[in-house]
Structure 1
Amino acid sequence: MTVKRALLIDGRDVPARSGRTAEDRSPYTGEVYALVAAADAEDVRAAVGAAHAAFPHWAATPPSARRALLMRAADLLESRLAEFSDVMLNETGGTRAWARVNVKVTADQMRQAATAAMAPAGHLPATDRTGQWSLAVREPAGVVAAVVPWNAPLILCARTIMVALAVGDTVVLRPSEDAPITSGLFLADVLRDAGLPDGALNVVTNDRGDAPAVIEALIADPRVRRVAFTGSTAVGRIVGRLAGEYLKPAALELGGKNPIIVCEDADLDHAVSAIAYAKFQNSGQVCLAVDRIILNRAIAGEFTARFVEKAAGLRQGDPADPATVVGPLINERAVERVAALVDDAVGKGARMLLGGGADGRNHPVTVLDGLTPEMRVYHEETFGPVASLYTVADDDAAVALANDTGYGLTSAVFTRDTTRALSIARRLRHGSTHVNAHTIQEEPQAPIGGIKDSGFGAFGGPQEIDFFTQTRWITLAEQPEPLPF
C-alpha cells in the first residue's frame, strides 16, 4: 500500500495548498513507495510563519526542559529502529545495517545536542568604564532554514537541526526529494511524539521540479535568520549565493574527493578492511566516503590484490537481504552518472580490476587503477561503489595527490609511525584527517566540516552553538557617567 504524507506546519499534518503531491520511489523496485505533499512558495511562507510565531515561546522554554525533551526523543528513536529500517529500505535502498548506523549515530547526536541547551549563555567582557557592567549575552538566533540530503538521511537531518532546537531556535526543514520521510518527516514524528511544541519544527516537502523555487522562498523570507545546508557542492553554491544575497549566515557541508594514504609500514589487513568499509558502505553514497586510495608503491601490489579480493566478496543486490552489503544507487540518474565516469576512465586508459557494467538500478562493485588527470573520475566526486587506486613513490607525492583537488572534506592515513602520520596529517588540506581509521567518522561532539569546495562552517563542536545563536552586548551603569557636555 502506498504511504501518504502531508506537510508538517504548526504541529498539524496539512496538504499542500495546491493539492499537488510528489512520488517517492523505491530505488530497488522502481515502484512508488510514498506520495508526499508538494509544497510551493506559499506553503513555505506558512511554515516560516509558524516557526516565527513559535519562536518566542520555544526560546523562553527553560533550557533543562529543552534538554529533557531531546533526551526523551533519543530514547524514542531507538525504540523505533525496526520501523525506521523498513522505511529506509523502501525509500533509499539502504540496508538494515546502514539503518542501524543511522539510528545509533542520530541518537548519540540528539543526546549530545541536548547538552547545548545548558551551555553558558554569555560572558563578562572587561571594561574600562568605572561603575559599569559589560555583558556579552548569547541568545537563540531565530528561525533556521535547514536543507538536508538523502544519503545518510537520519544522521544528516539530526546533525542539521538538533543543536538549533536545543539552543532555542525554531526550524523549517526541507528534506530531500529522494527521501522525504527518512530525511525529515520520520524524525519530526519522533520529536512531536516526544513533546516538541507546535511550530518549533516544520517540514515542507516538494516535487523535484519545484526545488529551486522552494529553497529560494525559504532562504529569502526575512523571518529566517540562519541557513544550514548539507548536500552537493553544485547545490551548495546556489544556497551560498542565495544566503549571501539575502544576508543570512550559512553553514554548508558539501561534497568531497576524500583521500586515504596507505604507507608501506601500514597494517594491511586493517587498512584493506577499513578502506573497503569507507568505499562501499551505502554503495559509496556517503559524503565522507573515500574517493582516492593512494598507495606507496612498496605495498601497492599486495594491497591491490587483497583489496580486490575483499571487494569481490561483498554481497550485492536486494537491500532487504541481511547478507547484502552493497545495495542499489538512489535512482537511475545516479547509475548512469557513475557508469559514465567508469566508461570515461576506461576509455582513456584506466585498468578495470573488478566490476564495470551497470545493471538496472545497481552499479557493480568496481575497482580501477591507472587513473590520470585527463579522466573525469580523477576530479569528480564518485558517489558510487567505484574504488580508484593510485600508486606513488613517497609521502611527498602522496600528499600532493591527496591535495590535488578542489574539495577538502576529510582524509586518512595508515602507518605504524605516529610521528610520520601527524606530519602527513598537518600537510593535508582537508577538514579532518584520521590516522589508522577510515574516513566515515562521526562523533557528535567533534566538528564536521570542509574547506575549499567542501564548504564552510562546521556541524558539531562549540562552533555549532555559536552559529545557531547570536551574541549581543549589554551594559549596565551603576552610576551616571560624566559627560563632556
Structure 2
Amino acid sequence: MSVDINSGRRGMLIGGMEMPAASARTTDDINPVTGDVYLTVPAADASDALAAIEAADVAFPGWAATAPSVRRTLLTRAADLLEQREEEFAEILVQETAGTRVWAKFNIRMAAEQLRQGATMATRQTGELLATDVSGEWSIAVREPAGVVVSIVPWNGPLILCARAIAVPLAVGNTMVIRPSEDAPVTSGLFLAEVLTAAGLPDGVVNVVTNDRADAPEVIEALIAHPRVRRCNFTGSTAVGKIVGRLAGEHITPVLLELGGKNPILVLDDADVDQAAEQSAFARFMNSGQICLSVDRIIVDRSIAARFTEKFLEHVAALAKNGPDSPDAIIGPMIHARAAARVAELVSDAVVKGAQILFDAGPVDGAFHPPTVLTGVTPDMRIHSEEIFGPVAVIYTVDSEEEAITLANDTEYGLSSAVYTENGTRGLMVARRLRHGSVHINSHTIADEPQAPVGGVKDSGFGHFGSDWGAEFFTETRWVTVAAPRAGTR
C-alpha cells in the first residue's frame, strides 16, 4: 500500500490489502481552495465496515500475543518514518484541508511523539497482586487487550488526532479500524496506516474504512454495533458525539469522547499583558481557529483591557500579514466554503445585535475567512454560546475575578481553559474553580503534551486520551486466583 497522490485514486486498507468498496462506488476528496477533486476514495457501506472488523478480529490474537517489546519497537519505528515524510505529508495536507505548512509540520512532530509515548505503554505493568483472606491463595488483577477498537477521527488536526486515537490501543495489544473524516481521508487515516504498515505492523492490525458523507450514519453504526468491536473512541463535534455515545450505549460498547469546547482565557489584573496578548492570539488563530482547544472567550480585567487589546490587535495584524501561501502562515483557508460562511453568519449576527468589530482583514473569499476581532458580545448573540471554530476572536471585559470565573464557566462545554496572573497561588485558586478538563496557568488553551490526559467535562465529552491515562480504558481488567494444591495432590 502506498500514498500515490499522482494516481488520483486511493483504496481502503483492509487486512493488509488496498481495497475498493464492495459496491465499487467512490467519493471525492475536494481541495477546499480550488474546489477541484484532489483524489477519489472508496465510498464504503456496512459490508465494507464488516470486512474491516473481521480483518481486525482475525489479526487480534496474533497481535495481542506479540511480545510487548516488539510492539513498542514497531510503533517507535513508525514515528521515525513519519518524521522522514514531513514534506510529503505537508503537501497532502495543503491539498486536502488547506492547512498551512506550519500546521502540517506541527502535526508530524506531535503525531510522532504520540506514537513514541504510546509505545511505552506496551511494556507497562499489566497487573497487581491483591490482598486476600484465603490462606495459601494468590489473588491477581490482570489487564489484557480488549479486542477490536474503532477510532473515528476528525479532519482538523488529522495526523495528531489519528495518532492519539490509535497509539495506546495498539501498544497494549488491540487491533484497529480507523474511520477517517470524509474531508480528510488521507491525512486523518490512510497516511498513518501506510506508515504503520511500512514500519512492519502485521496485516489486519490496522484497517481503514472511507465513506461518502451521505453514508456516514450507516457506516458508523455498523462499526459500533458489531459485537467484535470492544472499544470506540471519537473526536469531533458534540452533536455527532451524542449520536456516537447513544449508539455505543445501545450496544454496550465502552466509548471515549472528546467533543467541542467554548474555551476561555482569563487575563487577570496582575497578568503579564504582553505574554497574555501574544499567546491568546496564537491560541485563537492557529490553524484558523479550527482546533477543539482554541480559545473562544478572551476575558480581560477592565483595569488592563485597553492595554491588552492594543497588544492583542498588534499580534493579530502581524499574523494577518502572512498570507495563506507564506511558509510561516498560521491562518489559511478553512476546511470548506460552508465553514467560512457559517463563521461569517456568526459575525453578522453579533454585529447586527450590537457587537463591535475591532479588526477586520477583509471580506470572506470562498473558504477563506479573514482574521476578525469582536468586542461587545452579549448572551443573545449566537457567537456567545456556539463554538466558533474559525478565525474570529471575542474579547470580553469584566470588573472582577469573580465575574471572570462566572463567565468562563457559563457554558455547556468544559474542555480547556487558561489563566494569566503573576501570582501563582492566585492562579491555582482560580484554576480549581474553572469547570474544564484542563486549565493552564500562564499558558494558552491549546497547550498539549502526548503524556498528559486530554479530555473534557460537561458537553465536551468524557474519558481521557493520553498514554498513561488511556491504557486502562483500552484493556479489560480480570481477576485471577491461584490456590495452592491440596495435600496429597499433584
Same fold (TM over 0.5): yes
Is 1:72 aligned to 2:83, yes or no? no
Q: 2:482 is aligned with what amino acid?
A: L
Find the counterpart in structure 1 of residue 44 from structure 2. Answer: 39
1:420 maps to what in 2? 426
CA pair 201-318 structure 1, distance change in 2 beyond 3 A: farther
How far residue 160 of structure 1 moved from its aligned partner, in angstroms, is 0.5
Instruction: Assess if the C-alpha contact under 8 Å between 2:53 and 2:177 holds in 1.
Output: yes
Asked whether the equivalents of residues 262 and 415 of structure 1 are also in contact (C-alpha less than 8 Å), the reply is yes
Aligned residues: 481
The aligned amino acid for 1:203 is V
What SS does structure 1 have at the residue aligned with 2:123? coil
Alignment correspondent of 1:92: 97
Matched, 1:223 2:228: yes
Opposite residue 452 of structure 1, the aligned amino acid is K
1:388 paired to 2:355: no
- Residue 331 of structure 1 corresponds to 336
8 Å CA contact retained: 2:142, 2:479: yes
Question: 5 Å matches for 1:319-398?
Answer: 319-355=324-360, 357-398=363-404
1:315 is paired with a residue of what secondary structure? helix
Find the residue that maps to 2:242 and give its secondary structure.
helix
Structure 2: distance between partners of 1:427 and 1:410: 13
Runs of 4+ that moved beyond 6 A: none
* One of 62, 87, 95 as aligned partner of 1:82: 87
For the pair 1:467 / 2:473, whether they are aligned, the reply is yes
Task: Report what 1:188 is aligned to.
Answer: 193
2:227 and 2:381 map into 1 onto residues whose CA distance is: 44
Quote the offset at 1:131 in angstroms: 1.4
2:102·2:329 contact (CA, 8 Å) conserved in 1? no
Aligned mates of 2:294, 2:329 — CA distance in 1: 18
Mapping of 1:7-406 within 5 angstroms?
Answer: 7-315=12-320, 319-355=324-360, 357-406=363-412
Per the TM alignment, residue 469 of structure 1 is displaced from its structure 2 partner at its CA by 0.3
Question: Which residue does the alignment assign to 1:408?
Answer: 414
- Contact 1:2–1:32 under 8 Å retained in 2: no
**1:236-279 deviations in whole A, cap 9, x for unaligned?**
00000000000000000000000000012111111111111100
Deviation at 1:442, TM superposition (A): 1.4
Q: What TM-score results when the alignment is normalised by the length of structure 2?
A: 0.96
Distance change in 2, residues 1:267/1:2 (3 Å): farther
Q: What's the CA shift for 1:195?
A: 0.1
Letter in 1 for 2:203: D
DSSP 3-state at the match of 1:312: helix
Taking only aligned residues, the RMSD between alpha carbons, in angstroms, comes to 1.2
Alignment-derived partner of residue 429 in structure 1 = 435
Distance 1:315 1:307 in 2: 12
Deviation sequence 1:206-232 (CA, Å, 0-9, x none): 001101110000000110000100000
> Alignment partner of 2:40: what SS?
strand
1:480: Cα distance to partner?
4.5
Q: Where does the alignment leave 5 or more consecutive residues of structure 1 unmatched?
A: none
- Secondary structure of 2:320's partner? coil
Moved more, 40-49 or 123-132: 123-132
CA–CA distance in 2 between the matches of 1:318 and 1:9? Answer: 40
What percent of counterpart residues are identical?
61
- Which digits, 9 at most, give the CA deviation of each residue in 1:92-119, with x for residues without a partner? 1111111111011111111100000001
Mapped to 2, the partners of 1:335 and 1:297 lie a distance apart of 31
Supply the AA of the counterpart residue of 1:130. S
- The one-letter amino acid of 1:327's match is G
What are the ranges of 5 or more consecutive residues in structure 2 without an aligned counterpart?
1-5
Residues 69-93 of structure 1 deviation map (CA, whole Å, 9 limit, x = unaligned):
0111111110000100000011111
Q: Which residue of 1 aligns with 2:3?
A: none
Counterpart of 2:479, as a letter, is W
Letter matched to residue 476 of structure 1: V
- Report the Cα distance in structure 1 between the residues aligned to 2:402 and 2:359, rounded to whole angstroms: 29
* CA distance in structure 1 between the partners assigned to 2:322 and 2:341 by the alignment: 17
Residue 284 (structure 1) shift: 0.3
Q: Does the CA contact (< 8 Å) of 2:111 and 2:163 recur in 1?
A: yes
Residue 31 of structure 1, CA deviation: 1.1
Q: What secondary structure sits across from 1:313 in the alignment?
A: helix
Give yes or no for contact 1:95–1:327 (8 Å, CA) kept in 2: yes
Aligned mates of 1:2, 1:454 — CA distance in 2: 39
Shift of 1:310: 1.8
Q: Secondary structure at the match of 2:61?
A: helix
- Match of 2:130, SS state, is coil
User: Which secondary structure does the structure 1 equivalent of 2:32 belong to?
Assistant: coil
TM-score (norm 1): 0.97
Distance in 2 between the 1:70 and 1:266 partners? Answer: 42
